Amino acid sequence: MTGVLVVLTGSATNIMSYTHTFNKEYVGVGELHAKVKETRLKSVMKELTGEIYQRPPVRSAVSRRLRTREVFYFDLLEMKDRRLLFKVGTESGTYVRKLINDLGLLLGTGAHMAELRRTIDGPFVEKDAYSLWDVAASLELYQRNGDDSLLRKVFLPIESAVATFPSIYIKDSAVASVCHGASLAVGGISSFEEPIAQHDIVAVKTLKGELVAMGRANKDSSALAADKTGMAVVVERVVMDRNLYPKMWR
């Protein structure tokens, strides 16, 4: 399998549990074990969209219990003899190999996956992706000439990895206490992105847009806008260096 593989470095690894839940898109080649009509194939692919049941394969890292996953779209791009080129958008944790096997079962022909490439992982698409050679070249350029132009294309700020979560921008005076793991009070908020439901995962950021921490909203958008007091966010993972902003509490 090839394609988009998102890697976090240093303290960015603190937020790995959130980025695991990204939606994904794949493009792949499946091979049917007998010929079928294109119209029939398309209608079965349609049946395999929406909420589907899957049991994780024998060789997998999770418990092999039957679970449901959402398939947002499952499109046929091209068909030639028994081979099909497909594109599928799925919820995290969907096994595409299994999906192709199930496609074969439903068609009654049997099928297996021949090739698979991840084209989207959460906020990142194929064209954001660089090879290890590019990584090496970007370091070389920077170390030799102080040229950071490629390095800044390859090494994206951590903030880009949490772009799918709603942001809450906090006042500078609240930053250090959140860095120390304290919950965020509504009074510390300058602005936020709606909609936010209670218990949603949110990105707590400075006014400059730097990620301070990830946490769960304790109130929904309307309460976050109107409430005079109370806890706004329960902080779960701190990312920012606690010494970057001065302590402003007494």
Partner 1 sequence: MLEGVRKFQKTRKLIVREESEPSWEYGHNPRSRPVDLLMNLATVVLDKQKGPTSHDVVATFKRLIKVDRAGHTGTLVI
Residues 143-202 that bind partner 1 (CB under 8 A): 148, 151-152, 154-161, 163-164, 166, 171-172, 175, 186, 189-195
Does 112 bind partner 1 (CB under 8 A)? Our answer is: no
State how far the alpha carbon of 235 is from the alpha carbons of 45, 93, 199, 205, 247, in Å. Answer: 41, 26, 11, 12, 17
Work out which of 100, 224, 233, 238 binds partner 1, going by CB under 8 A. Answer: 224
User: Does residue number 121 form part of the binding site for partner 1 (CB under 8 A)?
Assistant: yes
Of 106 and 123, CB closest to partner 1: 123
**Token output for 177:** 């206490």
Considering only residues 28, 30, 89, 104, which one is a binding residue for partner 1 as defined by CB under 8 A?
89
Nearest distance from C-beta of residue 60 to partner 1, angstroms: 8
In sign, the C-alpha dihedral spanning 100, 123, 10, 218 is negative
Burial class for 145, CB neighbours closer than 10 Å (0-12, 13-18, 19+): exposed
Buried b (16+ CB within 10 A) or exposed e, 49-62: beebebebeeeeee
Q: Which stretch binds partner 1 (CB under 8 A): 34-42, 63-71, 177-185, 208-216?
A: 208-216
* Matching residue, tokens 């890697």: 7
Angle, vertex CA 21, rays to CA 31 and CA 216, nearest 5: 165
Smaller CB separation from partner 1, 11 or 43: 11
Among the listed residues 213, 203, 113, the one whose alpha carbon sits nearest the alpha carbon of residue 163: 203
Q: How far is the CB of 177 from partner 1 (least distance, A)?
A: 15
Tokens of 127: 């064209």
Element (H, E) at 175: helix 172-179
Q: Quick check: 6 binds partner 1 (CB under 8 A)?
A: yes
Piece in contact with partner 1 (CB under 8 A), picked from 40-48, 76-84, 102-110, 205-213: 205-213
7 makes contact with partner 1 (CB under 8 A): yes
Is 137 a binder of partner 1 (CB under 8 A)?
A: no
- Which residue is listed with tokens 């990830």? 214
Output 104 or 188, the one with its CB closest to partner 1.
188
The minimum distance between CB 70 and partner 1, in angstroms, equals 11
- Minimum separation from the CB atom of position 151 to partner 1 (A): 7
Q: How many other CB atoms sit within 10 Å of the CB of residue 239?
A: 21
Residues 47-86 that bind partner 1 (CB under 8 A): 59-61, 72
In angstroms, what is the minimal distance from the CB of 180 to partner 1? 16
Q: Which of 79/212 has CB closer to partner 1?
A: 212
**141: burial class by Cβ within 10 Å (0-12, 13-18, 19+)?**
middle
